[in-house]
C-alpha cells in the first residue's frame, strides 16, 4: 500500500519528517509540522481527531492538508493527528491516502479552541496519477526502542520480534504468557506459586536482568500488567553489548502507552469465567502546546479454576511529556502495581510423576497469600543536537516489596508426597524489599566518511540493586492432606505466627561503557561492530537475627563483550546476515584455592535471512543459531570434594536452533502472523550431569499462528472482526536432572506432554466503541507449567471473556 503525495513539496516533507526525526519516534506523539509563519498563538485555534479505515482500524501516515495553504501533517500510528496555529474561520481539510477515498471536510476554527474532527476512510479502486511514496513500514523496517539506536531490523544482524497493540486488543491478552504465544522461541518455561510467569528463550532463562520496561530493567517477580502496553519488543540472542550482564537467550522490553497532544481516552469493562472482572481507563490530553499527559489504570478481581484461589490487583500508569524548546523533550513515566493473590504451588508430584488429580484441586491454605507492591519512575531527557545527532539521558528508580506467607511447596524440605497421596504440609514465610536505581546516557548520530555511512552509538550506564530478604522460622508440620482425597483429614484453618530468622542483604553495583557502529560500506553491504566493558560488584551479608551474627562475602568482575555482524542486502527488501556476539554470566563460589570464580563467557553465532515481500505486505524471516557456554561452573571433584561452594569451570552447555517468522499487513480485511522454532539445549560437557542430556523446561518445538479478519464492506456488519489463534508447545521436561556424581541418585526428570491451544475471538469495532469476546483453550487441553518437582501448575481450562470499551 502507498500514500498519495500531491506535488506540493511541503506535504512531501511532512510525510518524511516522522521517519527522519528520531525524537518523534521516541515520544510517539502526533507528528505535526507547521510549514508557514504564524503570529499570535492566542488568536488562533487548532483541529485534532482520529482517522480510521472502514473496518475501524487506525489509518497511519494519512496525509492531511489545509486546502489553499502550506499547512499539513500526517496521522500517527494510532490514526491520530493535530493541526495547530489555524486562523479563525472556516477551513477545508483534504485527507488522502492511496487506495482510500480522498475526502474534503469543512470545519470552523475558533480562536483559542481545539476543534475535533474524526473521519472514516473507505477503499477505492481509482488509480491516482501522482507521485507515490511507500506509506507504511513493514515489521522489518520499524526500529525497536530497546535497541537504543534507530537501526531498522532489516539492517540488524539479529532476530527481532514485536507484538503490537492491535494484536493485543484482538486477542484480548490478559497475561504476558498470552502475548508470548505470538513469539516463537520465547516461551513460558514455568510458573511459581500462581504469581509469576518464568520466561525463557533459546534454552536460557530470563531473570529480572533480561526484562525491561521502556528500556529500564524491572523486577519480573510478579506478572506485569498488560493493559498499559503499546507493544512488546523481543531482541533474541545476546544483547550484552547494550545492557551488560544479561542471559544469552534474549531480552524482553515492555513499551507502555505515551502521552499525546490531543484529548481523548477510553473506558472499558472486561468480565470472564470464574467471577473475573476488570474495569480499566485510559485518559490523555495536551495541557498546553508543549505539555501532554496520560493516565491509564485498572482494577482486577478474579477467582480461578483452582479451588479457593483468587487474586486482586490495582495498577496505575501516569506519564507526562514536556517539549522544552524545539529540540528537547522530557518524558517522565511512572507506574504502581499492587498484586495480592492466593499462594498456589499446584498439584505436586509423586515419585517424580504428575498424579492423576483434578485440575482444580488446591493443596494450599485459603488464607495463604503472595502480595507484591511495585513502584517505578523513569525520566528520559532527549535533546537533538542537530538533525543527525541526539543525546538521550535516562534515570530511574524502582521499589519492589513482596510478602509470601503460606504452605511450603510440595516435596520441599524432604516433605515428599507419599505414594498413597499423604503430604505433611509445612508453613513458610519470606519477605523481600528491593530498591533499584539506574542512570544511563547515549549519544547517537549519523555521519559519513567519504562514501561510507555510519550510525554510531556511544553510551554509558550504571545501576544498583539493594535487596534485603527476610526468612522466617518455618513450621515444619502444620497438618496433613491427601492429594487424592482432601476429605481424608481434618485440615487446619488457623494462621500461625512465625518469627523472623535470617536477614540476607545482597547489593549489586554495575557500570559499563559501550560503543557500536553500523557501517554502510555500500547500499548492499553493512557491518555492525561494537564492544562493551562491564564492571560488576556483588556481595551478601547474612545475619542471624537471634544472635545478630553476620557473615559477609563480596566479589567483583569485569569483562569485555564484543559484537560483530555482517549484513548483505542484494535488494532493498532482502537481507542476509551473519553475526557473532559474546556475553557473560557471573559465578558464585570459589575455586580449589579459595579464589573467587571468574565469569563464564557465552559465545553466540547466528545467521539468517529477512524478507519483505509484495511491497512490504508480508515479512518472512528465518534464523539459525548456536549458543555455547564452554566454561560452565560446576562442583569441583578434585580430591573427592563434596562442598558445592568449591567449583571449577568444567562444564559446557550448547544450544542450537532454527526460527521462522511470517507476518502480514492487512490484505482485503485479512492479516496473519505465524512462526516456528526448534531448539535443542544439552549438556555437552559435564562432571555433574549426564553428557548429552537435555536441560529442563525447554521445549524442542514451539509454533504459533494467528489469522484475523475484519469485514470491510460498507453496510451492515462493517467493523465485525474475527480471530483465530493457535500455539503449540512441544514436549519438555522438569523435575531434577540426574547427577552422575552421586551414587544411587534418586533425582529424576518429569516428562511434560506437548499441547496445542486454540483460541477464538470475535469483535465489533466502531470509531467510538468496541465489543469483543474471546474463548481461550477452546479444546480444553491439559498440560502443566512446572518448576523442579515442587510447583506443578496446570494450564487454565477453557475460559470465556468479553470486553466493552468506549472511546472519545
pLDDT 10s digits, 445-498: 999 999 999 999 999 999 999 999 999 999 999 999 999 999 999 999 999 999
In a domain, 785, yes or no: yes
With beta carbons less than 8 A apart as the criterion, state whether 576 and 559 touch: no
What is the C-alpha separation between 708 and 673, in angstroms, rounded?
Answer: 9
In a domain, 444, yes or no: yes
Could you tell me if 269 and 130 lie in one domain?
Answer: no
Mark out the alpha helices in 64-175 (DSSP H runs): 165-171
What would the mean pLDDT of 111-127 be, rounded to a whole number?
70
Cell numbers linked to 669: 480485511
Angle at 261 between CA 255 and CA 266, to 5 degrees: 65
What is the CB neighbour count within 10 angstroms for residue 757?
Answer: 21
Give this prediction's pTM: 0.82
SS3 call for 74:
strand
Q: In terms of Cα–Cα distance, which of 180, 203, 157 is closest to 656?
A: 203
What's the pLDDT score for residue 54? Answer: 63
What would the mean pLDDT of 624-642 be, rounded to a whole number?
85
| Mean pLDDT value across the chain | 87
Cell numbers linked to 107: 470545519
What is the C-alpha separation between 346 and 361, in angstroms, rounded?
Answer: 8
Helices (H) and strands (E) in the chain, counts: 5, 46
Q: 754-781, pLDDT tens digit by residue?
A: 999 999 999 999 889 999 999 999 999 9
Compute CA 355 distance to the chain's CA centroid, rounded to the nearest angstrom. Answer: 34
Mark out the alpha helices in 8-129 (DSSP H runs): 9-20, 22-27
With beta carbons less than 8 A apart as the criterion, state whether 547 and 555 touch: no
- Check which CATH number belongs to the domain holding 541 and give it: 2.40.170.20
With beta carbons less than 8 A apart as the criterion, state whether 661 and 651 touch: no
Angle at 529 between CA 525 and CA 532, to 5 degrees: 170
Please give the C-alpha separations between residue 377 and each of 335, 435, 538, 581, 737, in angstroms, as whole numbers.
7, 12, 24, 32, 41
In a domain, 259, yes or no: no
What is the C-alpha separation between 122 and 241, in angstroms, rounded?
Answer: 47
Which of 134, 160, 189 terminates a domain? The answer is: 134
Confidence of residue 29 (pLDDT cuts 50, 70, 90): very low
pLDDT at 805 over 50: yes
What would the mean pLDDT of 267-280 be, rounded to a whole number?
96
In a domain, 193, yes or no: no
What is the C-alpha separation between 191 and 788, in angstroms, rounded?
Answer: 11
3-state DSSP percent of the chain in helix, strand and coil, to 5: 5, 60, 35
Please tell me the number of Cα atoms within 13 Å of 125 on its side-chain side: 1
Helix (H) or strand (E) holding 661: strand 647-664
| Residue carrying the nine cell digits 499462528 | 705
Q: 713-747, pLDDT tens digit by residue?
A: 777 788 899 999 999 999 999 998 887 877 778 88
In a domain, 663, yes or no: yes
Please give the C-alpha separations between residue 422 and each of 297, 313, 363, in angstroms, as whole numbers.
44, 34, 11
What's the pLDDT score for residue 137? Answer: 64
pLDDT at 594 over 50: yes
Q: In terms of Cα–Cα distance, which of 327, 333, 362 is closest to 346?
A: 362
What is the CB neighbour count within 10 angstroms for residue 58?
Answer: 17
Strand boundaries in 473-573, DSSP class E: 475-482, 500-520, 525-544, 549-571
Confidence of residue 57 (pLDDT cuts 50, 70, 90): low
What's the pLDDT score for residue 56? Answer: 64
In a domain, 187, yes or no: no
Which of 114, 134, 154 terminates a domain? The answer is: 134
In a domain, 201, yes or no: no
Q: 569-583, pLDDT tens digit by residue?
A: 999 999 999 999 998
In a domain, 241, yes or no: no
Backbone angles phi, psi at 125, to 5 degrees: -90, 0
With 0-12 / 13-18 / 19 or more C-beta atoms within 10 angstroms meaning exposed / middle / buried, residue 414 is: exposed
Please tell me the number of Cα atoms within 13 Å of 626 on its side-chain side: 7
What is the C-alpha separation between 485 and 421, in angstroms, rounded?
Answer: 8
Which of 100, 134, 168 terminates a domain? The answer is: 134
Where b means 16+ CB within 10 Å and e means fewer, 194-212 reads bbbbbbbbbbbbbbbbbbb
What's the pLDDT score for residue 21? Answer: 39
Give the total number of structural domains in the chain: 2
Residue-range definition of the domain harbouring residue 77: 2-134
pLDDT higher for 41 or 708? 708
Range of weakest confidence among 15-29, 250-264, 734-748: 15-29
What's the pLDDT score for residue 42? Answer: 57
Strand partners, 370: 341, 404
Strand partners, 301: 277, 312
What would the mean pLDDT of 586-600 be, rounded to a whole number?
82
Q: In terms of Cα–Cα distance, which of 510, 594, 517 is closest to 558?
A: 510
- Check which CATH number belongs to the domain holding 122 and give it: 2.60.40.1120
What's the pLDDT score for residue 96? Answer: 80
Please tell me the number of Cα atoms within 13 Å of 64 on its side-chain side: 33
pLDDT higher for 550 or 83? 550
What would the mean pLDDT of 400-415 be, rounded to a whole number?
92
Amino acid at each position: 500500500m502507498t500514500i498519495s503525495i500531491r506535488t506540493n513539496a511541503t506535504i512531501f516533507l511532512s510525510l518524511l519528517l516522522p521517519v527522519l526525526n528520531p525524537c518523534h519516534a521516541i515520544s510517539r506523539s502526533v507528528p505535526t509540522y507547521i510549514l508557514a509563519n504564524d503570529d499570535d498563538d492566542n488568536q488562533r485555534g487548532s483541529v485534532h481527531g482520529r482517522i480510521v479505515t472502514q473496518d475501524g482500524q487506525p489509518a497511519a501516515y494519512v496525509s492531511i492538508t489545509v486546502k489553499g495553504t502550506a499547512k499539513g501533517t500526517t496521522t500517527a500510528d494510532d490514526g491520530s493527528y493535530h493541526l495547530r496555529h489555524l486562523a479563525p474561520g472556516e477551513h477545508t481539510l483534504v485527507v488522502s491516502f492511496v487506495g482510500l477515498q480522498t475526502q474534503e471536510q469543512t470545519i470552523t476554527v475558533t480562536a483559542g479552541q481545539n476543534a475535533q474532527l474524526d473521519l472514516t476512510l473507505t477503499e477505492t479502486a481509482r488509480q491516482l496519477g501522482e507521485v507515490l511514496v511507500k506509506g507504511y513500514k513493514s515489521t522489518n523496517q520499524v526500529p525497536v526502542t530497546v535497541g537504543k539506536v534507530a537501526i531498522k531490523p532489516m539492517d540488524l544482524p539479529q532476530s527481532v520480534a514485536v507484538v503490537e497493540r492491535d494484536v493485543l486488543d484482538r486477542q484480548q491478552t490478559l497475561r504476558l504468557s498470552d502475548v508470548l504465544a505470538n513469539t516463537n522461541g520465547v516461551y513460558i518455561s514455568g510458573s511459581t506459586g500462581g504469581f509469576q510467569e518464568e520466561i525463557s528463550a533459546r534454552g536460557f532463562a530470563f531473570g529480572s536482568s533480561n526484562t525491561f520496561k521502556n528500556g529500564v530493567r524491572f523486577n519480573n517477580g510478579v506478572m506485569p500488567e498488560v493493559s498499559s502496553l503499546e507493544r512488546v519488543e523481543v531482541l533474541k540472542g545476546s544483547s550484552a553489548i547494550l545492557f551488560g550482564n544479561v542471559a544469552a537467550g534474549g531480552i524482553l522490553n515492555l513499551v507502555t502507552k505515551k502521552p499525546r497532544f490531543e484529548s481523548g481516552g477510553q473506558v472499558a469493562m472486561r468480565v470472564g469465567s470464574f467471577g473475573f472482572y476488570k474495569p480499566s481507563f485510559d485518559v490523555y490530553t495536551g495541557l498546553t502546546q508543549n505539555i501532554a499527559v496520560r493516565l491509564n489504570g485498572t482494577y482486577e478481581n478474579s477467582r480461578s479454576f483452582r479451588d479457593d484461589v483468587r487474586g486482586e490487583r490495582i495498577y496505575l500508569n501516569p506519564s507526562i511529556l514536556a517539549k522544552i524548546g524545539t529540540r528537547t523533550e522530557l518524558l517522565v513515566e511512572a507506574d504502581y502495581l499492587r498484586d495480592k493473590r492466593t499462594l498456589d504451588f499446584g498439584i505436586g508430584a509423586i515419585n517424580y510423576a504428575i498424579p492423576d488429580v483434578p485440575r482444580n484441586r488446591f493443596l494450599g491454605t485459603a488464607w495463604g497469600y503472595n502480595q507484591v507492591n511495585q513502584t517505578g519512575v523513569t525520566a528520559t531527557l532527549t535533546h537533538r543536537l542537530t538533525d543527525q545527532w541526539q543525546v538521550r539521558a535516562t534515570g530511574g528508580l524502582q521499589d519492589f516489596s513482596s510478602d509470601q506467607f503460606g504452605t511450603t511447596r510440595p516435596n520441599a524440605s524432604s516433605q515428599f508426597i507419599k505414594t498413597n497421596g499423604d503430604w505433611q504440609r509445612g508453613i513458610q514465610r519470606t519477605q523481600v524489599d528491593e530498591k533499584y536505581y539506574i542512570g544511563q546516557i547515549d549519544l547517537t548520530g549519523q555521519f559519513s566518511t567519504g562514501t561510507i555511512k555510519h550510525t554510531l552509538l556511544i553510551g554509558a550506564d550504571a545501576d544498583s540493586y539493594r535487596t534485603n530478604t527476610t526468612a522466617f522460622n518455618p513450621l515444619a508440620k502444620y497438618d496433613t492432606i491427601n492429594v487424592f482425597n482432601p476429605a481424608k483429614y481434618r485440615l487446619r484453618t488457623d494462621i500461625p505466627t512465625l518469627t523472623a530468622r535470617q536477614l540476607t542483604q545482597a547489593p549489586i553495583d554495575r557500570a559499563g561503557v559501550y560503543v557500536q557502529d553500523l557501517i554502510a560500506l555500500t547500499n548492499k553491504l553493512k557491518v555492525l561492530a561494537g564492544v562493551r566493558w562491564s564492571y560488576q560488584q556483588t556481595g551478601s551479608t547474612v545475619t542471624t537475627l537471634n544472635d545478630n551474627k553476620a557473615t559477609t562475602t563480596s566479589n567483583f568482575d569485569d569483562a569485555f563483550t564484543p559484537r560483530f555482524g555482517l549484513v548483505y542486502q542484494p535488494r532493498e527488501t532482502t537481507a542476509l546476515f551473519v553475526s557473532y556476539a559474546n556475553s557473560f554470566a557471573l559465578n558464585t563460589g570459589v575455586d580449589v584455592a579459595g579464589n573467587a570464580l571468574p565469569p563464564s563467557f557465552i559465545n553466540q553465532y547466528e545467521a539468517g535471512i529477512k524478507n519483505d515481500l509484495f511491497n512490504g505486505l508480508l515479512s518472512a524471516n528465518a534464523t539459525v543459531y548456536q549458543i555455547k557456554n564452554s566454561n560452565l561452573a560446576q562442583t569441583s571433584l578434585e580430591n573427592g570434594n563434596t562442598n558445592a561452594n568449591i567449583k571449577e569451570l568444567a562444564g559446557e552447555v550448547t544450544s542450537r536452533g532454527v526460527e521462522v517468522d511470517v507476518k502480514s499487513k492487512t490484505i482485503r480485511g485479512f492479516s496473519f502472523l505465524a512462526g516456528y522454532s526448534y531448539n535443542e539445549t544439552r549438556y555437552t560437557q559435564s562432571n555433574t550431569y549426564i553428557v548429552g542430556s537435555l536441560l529442563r523446561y525447554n521445549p524442542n518445538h514451539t509454533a504459533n499462528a494467528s489469522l484475523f479478519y475484519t469485514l470491510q464492506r460498507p453496510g451492515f456488519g462493517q467493523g465485525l472482526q474475527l480471530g483465530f489463534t493457535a500455539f503449540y508447545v512441544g514436549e519438555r521436561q522438569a523435575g531434577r536432572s540426574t547427577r552422575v556424581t552421586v551414587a544411587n541418585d534418586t533425582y529424576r526428570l518429569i516428562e511434560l506432554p506437548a499441547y496445542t491451544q486454540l483460541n477464538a475471538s470475535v469483535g465489533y469495532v466502531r470509531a467510538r466503541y468496541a465489543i469483543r469476546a474471546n474463548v481461550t483453550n477452546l479444546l480444553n487441553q491439559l498440560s502443566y507449567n512446572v518448576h523442579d518437582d515442587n510447583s506443578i501448575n496446570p494450564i487454565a481450562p477453557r475460559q470465556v471473556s468479553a470486553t466493552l470499551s468506549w472511546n472519545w
